[in-house]
């Protein structure tokens, strides 16, 4: 079945925000006398806000802070960082433009809508997408496939005719659970394990390599 749609993750794929999330979490952990490691950050990538906030509260041993309070504080800090400087990943604009000439594009991000809307406004990417779903729109976040299944329903496209682009293991798991074609585009700072790389049908170091030819060839 020919490709009929392409779905992008946001954090770590279109914008280089995973380093921002790591910096914000490291700073918060230091404030409460704890350490936040790269492994901690990698484990949270792609997770929904209720999931990562609950796990972060447990990981840091926070007694006087609920997951909801922590999520609000982290979101406030990350949004401030986005507004100060939000780097776009190399090749993102090029990939959106070239793929958008061939297929409808959608965004499926585990981030809260507040941050997604901020990022879309800062980058100007919002107009590229026919559908935008956020972590707030689904009950279960990645690695569950819910956000991708809901996106496909919105687009009216079967899973075997859709390609997704993800940077994290949780995201790749979600794509495969949804029955979609998966392209891995990991951040250099957060390389994927061999096991996670094996989930991808293709892997790129730069989004400029996500060409119409590559995408169409997956389902050929």
Residues 10 and 119 in one domain: yes
Residues 11 and 44 in one domain: no
113-168: pLDDT as tens digits = 999 999 999 999 999 999 999 999 998 999 999 999 999 999 999 999 999 999 99
Residue 11 and residue 140: Cα distance in Å, rounded? Answer: 18
User: How many other CB atoms sit within 10 Å of the CB of residue 114?
Assistant: 16
pLDDT at 43 over 80: yes
Q: Structure pTM?
A: 0.92
- 173: domain CATH number is 3.40.50.1000
Residue 114 and residue 112: Cα distance in Å, rounded? Answer: 5
pLDDT at 41 over 90: no
Residues 101 and 120 in one domain: yes
Residues 9 and 29 in one domain: no
Range of the structural domain that residue 70 is part of: 18-84
Mean pLDDT of the chain: 95
CA-only gyration radius of the chain, Å: 17
- 42: domain CATH number is 1.10.150
Residue 72 and residue 66: Cα distance in Å, rounded? Answer: 10
Q: What percent of the chain is modeled with pLDDT above 90?
A: 87
pLDDT at 15 over 90: yes
CA distances, 65 to each of 25, 56, 68, 129 (Å): 15, 11, 8, 36
Boundary (domain end) residue, out of 84, 116, 131: 84
Boundary (domain end) residue, out of 61, 84, 107: 84
What is the per-residue pLDDT for 189? Answer: 86
Mean pLDDT along residues 174-178: 98
Instruction: Copy the structure tokens of residue 203.
Output: 């892997």
What is the per-residue pLDDT for 42? Answer: 84
Residues 55 and 145 in one domain: no
Residue 194 phi, psi dihedral angles, 5° rounding: -60, -40
Boundary (domain end) residue, out of 59, 84, 109: 84
């Amino acid at each position: 079945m020919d490709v009929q749609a392409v779905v992008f993750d946001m954090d770590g794929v279109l914008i280089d925000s995973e380093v921002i999330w790591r910096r914000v979490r490291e700073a918060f952990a230091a404030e409460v006398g704890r350490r936040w490691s790269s492994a901690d950050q990698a484990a949270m990538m792609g997770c929904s806000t209720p999931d990562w906030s609950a796990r972060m509260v447990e990981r840091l041993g926070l007694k006087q802070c609920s997951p909801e309070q922590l999520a609000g504080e982290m979101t406030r800090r990350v949004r401030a960082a986005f507004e100060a400087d939000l780097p776009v990943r190399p090749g993102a604009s090029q990939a959106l433009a070239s793929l958008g000439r061939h297929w409808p594009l959608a965004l499926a991000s585990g981030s809260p809508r507040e941050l997604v809307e901020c990022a879309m406004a800062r980058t100007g990417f919002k107009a590229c997408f026919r559908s935008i779903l956020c972590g707030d729109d689904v009950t279960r976040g990645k690695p569950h496939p819910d956000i991708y299944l809901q996106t496909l329903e919105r687009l009216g496209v079967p899973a075997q005719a859709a390609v997704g682009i993800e940077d994290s293991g949780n995201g790749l798991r979600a794509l495969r659970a949804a029955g979609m074609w998966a392209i891995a585009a990991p951040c250099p700072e957060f390389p994927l394990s061999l096991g996670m790389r094996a989930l991808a049908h293709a892997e790129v170091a730069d989004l400029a390599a996500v060409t119409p030819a590559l995408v169409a060839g997956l389902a050929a």
